């Protein structure tokens, strides 16, 4: 079964297989943040211990391509939720 979460007033279906479970965890973390609060790559690495930096970055790039988050600055890498 797919779990549905709502982001940007749209329902997003996330399927419970491997990478998608990790993506769901990151999305829940992002949604739990305040609209104007930024999150850093280092925060995500601390939160998701055991996951490589490249896996976290890949999921964040996918979310950026979908328009859910937007990159603010390249170094240190951080994003915020996209509200446009």
| Contact assessment for residue 63 and residue 30, using Cβ atoms and an 8 Å cutoff | yes
> Going residue by residue through the chain (84 aa), what tens digit of pLDDT does each one get?
445 555 555 555 544 455 678 888 888 888 887 777 788 888 888 888 888 888 888 888 888 888 878 887 776 667 777 765
pTM of the prediction?
A: 0.66
**Residue 38 DSSP class:** E
CATH code of the region 2-81: 1.10.10.10
The Cβ of residue 82 has, within 10 Å, a number of other Cβ atoms equal to: 16
Please name the residues in contact with 75: beta carbons below 8 A apart, sequence gap of 6 or more.
none
List the domain boundaries for the chain.
Answer: 2-81
pLDDT of the residue at 7: 52
Helix and strand numbers (H, E) in the chain are 3, 5
């Amino acid at each position: 079964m797919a779990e549905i979460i709502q982001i940007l007033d749209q329902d997003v279906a996330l399927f419970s297989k491997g990478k998608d479970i990790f993506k769901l965890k990151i999305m829940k973390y992002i949604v739990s943040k305040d609209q104007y609060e930024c999150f850093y790559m280092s925060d995500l690495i601390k939160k998701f211990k055991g996951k490589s930096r490249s896996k976290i970055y890949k999921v964040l790039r996918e979310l950026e391509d979908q328009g859910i988050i937007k990159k603010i600055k390249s170094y240190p890498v951080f994003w915020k939720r996209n509200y446009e």
